[in-house]
Structure 1
């Protein structure tokens, strides 16, 4: 049954893509647009892009959101192009070079913003370049061209959205409901593993899987938010559930680590209770109900703090989960949970990676300009545009090299497919708009199926084929022009791939070290007596950085354990009852300043110097805690943090 449903979704999206392209083509010719190709190309990219990313039919709202990003990116690019034309119209070469810098700048910004918003900035970069190149022979027509391009793109986006709505976009809500239950069961099973204190590799695999599962749920929340405004209450609850899920992971792993120092932390009664197997969410609910009853009798003083906190977080998770499933009005208790903490955003650790992307895009566009001017090739401008498109869109992806190869394969496949349509199909359909629409619908249908399978080159084939077809008004069929355009695309993708391969990205080690130092800074910054700072919730940001570390170093368990241990230290010190006095408050500020200098250090020597200073200050801080008679709840986690920093000093200071 599942196989048939997947096949049905594949067919439904292929029909949806064909409908979007045909609708854009019909509207373009009906309203006598000069280049309906832009509307058709936009409809194809906006509809097919999310399907390629999702590996199937995208959920409701994804196409609409991508369309809005494309509109924003197009308008930003058009405004930037008009400003460059007004200022630099008398120096065309300088204007093109400035536009190359603009494309690099947009790629740099897209590397630092959230992944889901990076598409708009990448688009803004190459949109300006397209306008600058196109108006070289008629600069006075640039405002008209910019307006026409924006209009055609908006038409294409509207057609893609209409097609999405016509064919019943699938909602992600049921998937979220199932995932919430599965996540709670997985959290309970992780706690069972940690209390049993079994094999460390098994625990590593379990918490690593839970981090990814929680990250996937956060992605689903974004899709639900895009789907409809009626899920606003569910969206608020899911934000809090993301934090609660990360809190549960942290408490479970801390329970495991503490038993390395205190094996008798968990009493036999609690071990026996967690030894009972659970398979369904109903079993978890029964167990949590028993635990709450026991805790109401015994109180928190006779229960390990990590276990007591875990049960409380799991109970809040249950409450919010019921609210998400029913999408009911938010109760007073839920509102208290939702407003309990302020979620903090962390600074990006990929600044060096972003700078590499800037130079890749800028140099490739400049190389395309030199190639265009040196050869005088009429399609050199097309090659230059493809260079900008590939480098702008590929840089934000985890593997830019594979994205470049995908574009190159697409342009190679587009050559025979486009030639067949150009020489045989399109000339035969000139007397009938219906035949023209059917021929393009067939092309879109079959490529739409391949796009959902993430077939290498499928998305590039769709875009490149539409781009080289003569979908202008009126249609003209000059084979030399077609061949020039097709070869221009091919040469542009090849040059872009060469730049990606030659300008190597050596930022992985630096990014990993910055990430680890950010974990150190977060742990140190949690030492505070400021109430507002204590209410700041860094967990989502820290786990987002941990997820980035997982992607950068997929097999390095030592780095994951170190990062997780630092996150646990942060969470424990944040809740520790630090004595409130001016002496400790001033020293907390000094510790934060040193940690900030550690992160921003430009070389290994400075980094080692600041790290040594931080360790010396933490030794002094421990002495101050003894003087001010701090409780073991403060002194023990601080001592563990200092010991861990000394143990991993080399990994945290050497690039």
Structure 2
């Protein structure tokens, strides 16, 4: 007799509801832990400030909101630059008032100029370095404006401001570094491993044959974004970890070697692709594919995240490369040897750079700095690109807004006008570097309005019933909890920041809390109006960041990097070229519609600039080492100058002129096996440049912003 299978009872309504709650709260633990740490820092800073008898405990509490971040390293980085900016701004405020005591007009002129220059400085720097410029700008306004007619109070205001801000910074950094810290170094390690694993896997797949142009372009975009993000993380992690500070140069060297390797890989595959486009079964292309097959086999044996054994595999590949190259070269007709030699030379350099990259990655995995580095004396440099026009517009906007609002305030005699002006100065500087400042300013304005409404309810109905600091915490906690939680949702960060500040600033928490509703409304309205005026400032003088005008100028600047490669001093030029050109490319592509014609054309230009620029730099290095005859040196210099002009202003005439100089230089180096050994590297670089210029699928043969696009050009760019 069969026994019926037992069936589990259907879940009750309560169980189903609890399951729904658990599902909705999944992953919310880290968000609420962040909320807890922020509010703990806020109330701890406020309590210490009141115990010390500071004039404005709310300033220390507000500082926590300004530097809050989930990762402790980011909090430490923001705190460092905020402290630096506050100190510089305080000194500047004291100096300005001392130079122009009770002289409002000259003081406002100098203040506006300072604010404008600080806003421009914020746009020139990245990471949280720009934050230091923002702070030094509006700290002057916060300290000096209230003392414009009473300069004797200035020093006390400056000391109080610095003390309150430093207290907020010390408390927030201590809490985030001690209470369940989220270390940035783990994110840095994960990002570096993911970058290298992705690149090595891409190289492994690429050794199986030709890569389509579109695959190379998309990989280039991905690797550029990852390498720039890695540098941003490195710049912040040094604040939280002493070991990371010691290893900072190694991490930058790792990134630099990755950029060099990725550019070399592009050049190698562009050469093979050009050969295969001319003839599908081209013998040289097939020989080169066979030549680097052992590289793919070596990479296929690698386990993810493991780099120690990879260097030994690559050393063996390098040892076998000359013999394999000689055998494959002998199977080709003599007139094709030059194409093969150029590709073989590229491959050898690429494997050497890949070995150094893996060696650096393996050394980074060793504890401390014990891991030995290959070519440890290599110069390390990383530079960003600056859009001077965007900086000029930002300086002008901040200057005009500060001066105009200051003059209006002096004429009106508005008691809370200093607060509104300081708010406008702060937000016009903070929002200057954001791609859509008007949108973020609108979010902050809404947040200020909602926060002021919350503060009014708290001050009018809740705070009069409170007695003691613990009751103050209990009464204000519900009003601050929701805004802080919203900050865990990136699209709502502007709204969250506005609500946090709009709630806490008008309360003016202190040793003797005021329940004067009229004074409260005056302060709250001043801050809301300040946010609205900041929004209007970006409507009247729009930001140029992300506009078509800026994208076109940055694209021209990207092409101009070839001129840098052709003419700039060679010392440190290679890492400078690699980092600046990538930063320019990323600035443009981030504001370009994905998969659009403009995006595809930009990707094609970026690949071409990287390949040509790097080849020019190496040509110049090898020319110096080879001690060229004067005639050959003159033709090489003329060819480099012609190529630079071609990239700056593409035209058929410049294209023909560049090819003519390359042909003349190649003729002077000899041919048909009669090339002196000292001139072989130079000839190979010249051959690669000529091959790139004669490529019918190259972006130089497609389009330029100053020339009409030939039919089908953008279709070619997408391949």
* TM-score, with length taken from structure 2: 0.79
1:637 and 1:524 map into 2 onto residues whose CA distance is: 18
Distance 1:380 1:247, change over 3 A: same
Partner of 1:603: none
Query: Which residue of structure 2 lines up, in the alignment, with residue 627 of structure 1?
Result: 668
Q: How far apart are the structure 1 equivalents of 2:437 and 2:512?
A: 38
Does structure 1 retain, via aligned residues, the 8 Å contact 2:570–2:617? no
Answer yes or no: is 1:24 the counterpart of 2:30. no
- 1:356-395 aligned at under 5 Å gives the runs 356-395=393-432
Quote the residue 1:314 is aligned against.
Answer: 354
**Match 1:95 to one of 91, 97, 107:** 107
Shift of 1:279: 9.3
SS of 1:338's equivalent in the other structure is: coil
Aligned mates of 1:443, 1:590 — CA distance in 2: 69
3-state DSSP of counterpart to 2:239: helix
After TM superposition, the structure 1 = structure 2 runs for residues 165-244 of structure 1, keeping only pairs within 5 Å, are 165-192=177-204, 194-195=206-207, 196-244=209-257
**Structure 1 range deviating more: 638-647 or 318-327:** 638-647
Would the alpha carbon gap of residues 521 and 653 (structure 1) be closer, same or farther in structure 2, given more than 3 Å must change? farther
**Deviation readout 1:83-117 (Å, 9 max, x if unpaired):** 22122224213312321221111101111123320
Match of 1:79 in 2: 91
Output one character per residue of 1:235-279: Cα deviation in whole Å (capped at 9) or x when no partner: 222111111221232123223311232234353535766499789
Correspondence for 2:533: 495
Residue by residue, what CA displacement relative to the aligned partner does 1:473-501 show, whole Å, maximum 9, x if unpaired?
32221101111111111111111111102
The change in CA–CA distance for 1:349 and 1:61 in structure 2 (over 3 A counts) is closer
> What value does the CA root-mean-square deviation take over the aligned residues?
3.5
- 1:138-153 matches, cutoff 5 A: 138-153=150-165
Range 464-473 or range 387-396, more displaced = 464-473
The Cα of 1:124 is off from its aligned counterpart by 1.0
Partner of 2:482 in structure 1? 446
CA shift in 2, pair 1:28/1:597, >3 Å: farther
Partner of residue 378, structure 2: 340
**Partner Cα separation in structure 2 for residue 14 and residue 418 of structure 1:** 19
Q: Distance in 2 between matches of 1:99 and 1:361?
A: 11
Matched, 1:325 2:365: yes
- Report if aligned partners of 1:111, 1:395 keep a CA contact under 8 Å in 2: yes
Structure 1 residues 66, 420: CA separation in 2 closer, same or farther (over 3 Å shift)? same
Superposed displacement of residue 6, structure 1 = 4.2
CA shift at 1:397, angstroms?
2.2
Aligned to 1:296: 319
Shift of 1:175: 3.3
Q: 1:118 to 1:180 in 2, by over 3 A?
A: closer
- Distance, in Å, in 1 between the alignment partners of 2:234 and 2:344 is 33
The 8 Å contact of residues 598 and 610 in structure 1, kept in 2 or not, is answered as: yes
State the partner residue of 1:265: 285
Go from structure 1 to structure 2 and tell me whether the alpha carbon gap of 1:271 and 1:584 turns closer, same or farther (over 3 Å shift).
closer
Structure 1 range deviating more: 436-445 or 222-231: 436-445
Match in the other structure for 2:335: none
Report the equivalent of 1:68: 80
The residue number in structure 2 matching 1:35 is 56
Which residue of structure 2 lines up, in the alignment, with residue 602 of structure 1?
none
Measured in 1, the distance between the counterparts of 2:418 and 2:646 equals: 46
* Partner Cα separation in structure 1 for residue 305 and residue 502 of structure 2: 52
> Is the Cα contact below 8 Å between 1:14 and 1:444 reproduced in 2?
no
Question: After the TM superposition, which of the residue ranges 121-130 and 445-454 deviates more from structure 2?
Answer: 445-454
SS, match of residue 265 in structure 1 = helix
Q: CA deviation at 1:306?
A: 3.4
Task: Tell me how far apart the structure 2 counterparts of residues 626 and 342 of structure 1 sit (CA, whole Å).
Answer: 37
Partner residue of 1:425 out of 444, 453, 462: 462
Any stretches of 5+ residues in structure 2 without a counterpart?
1-21, 277-283, 327-342, 671-678, 709-719
Cα distance change on mapping 1:528 and 1:625 into 2, 3 Å: farther
Pairing 1:398-417 to 2, within 5 Å after superposition: 398-417=435-454
Contact kept? 1:422, 1:470, Cα under 8 Å: no
Unaligned runs of 5+ in 1: 52-56, 600-606
Residue 19 of structure 1: how far off its partner (Å): 1.1
Check whether the contact 2:93–2:140 (CA below 8 A) recurs between aligned residues. Answer: yes
Q: Equivalents in 1 of 2:388, 2:23: separation in Å?
A: 43
1:580 to 627, 634, 642: 627
Cα 1:244/1:74, change in 2 over 3 Å = same
Partner Cα separation in structure 1 for residue 211 and residue 23 of structure 2: 36
Aligned equivalent of 2:506, options 460, 465, 468: 468
Q: Which residue of 1 aligns with 2:304?
A: 281
Do the aligned residues in 1 keep the contact of 2:635 with 2:664 (CA within 8 Å)? no
Measure how far apart 1:451 and its partner are: 0.8
Change (3 A) 1:637 1:403: same
Q: CA deviation at 1:565?
A: 1.3
Counterpart for residue 705 of structure 2: 651
Q: Is the 8 A contact 1:21 1:440 kept in 2?
A: no
CA 1:622–1:374 in structure 2 vs 1: closer, same or farther (change >3 Å)?
farther
* Kept after mapping to 2: 8 A contact 1:22/1:441: no
Matched, 1:540 2:596: no
Structure showing greater radius of gyration is: 2
Q: What aligned pairs does 1:471-620 form with structure 2 within 5 A after superposition? A: 471-506=509-544, 508-509=547-548, 511-527=550-566, 532=571, 538-555=577-594, 556-576=599-619, 577-578=622-623, 579-581=626-628, 582=630, 619-620=660-661
Cα distance, 1:587 vs structure 2: 7.4
Corresponding residue for residue 7 of structure 2: none
Q: How many residues align?
A: 634
CA contact (8 A) 1:542 1:567 kept: yes
1:490-548 deviation per Cα after TM superposition (whole angstroms, max 9, x unaligned): 11111111110221234645544454444444434445898746776532232222222
| CA pair 72-182 structure 1, distance change in 2 beyond 3 A | closer
1:273-306 deviation per Cα after TM superposition (whole angstroms, max 9, x unaligned): 6499789527998887655434322328557333
CA contact (8 A) 2:77 2:128 kept: no
Which piece of structure 1 moves more, 574-583 or 246-255? 574-583
Change (3 A) 1:344 1:266: farther
Residue 234 of structure 1 deviates from its aligned partner by 3.3
C-alpha deviation, 1:146, in angstroms = 1.1
- The answer to whether the 8 Å contact 2:118/2:134 transfers is yes
Match of 1:120 in 2: 132
Whose relative contact order is higher, 1 or 2, with alpha carbons under 8 Å and at least 6 apart?
1
Q: Given the superposition, is the C-alpha separation of residues 116 and 618 from structure 1 closer, same or farther in structure 2, using an over 3 Å criterion?
A: farther
Q: Normalization by structure 1: what TM-score? A: 0.86
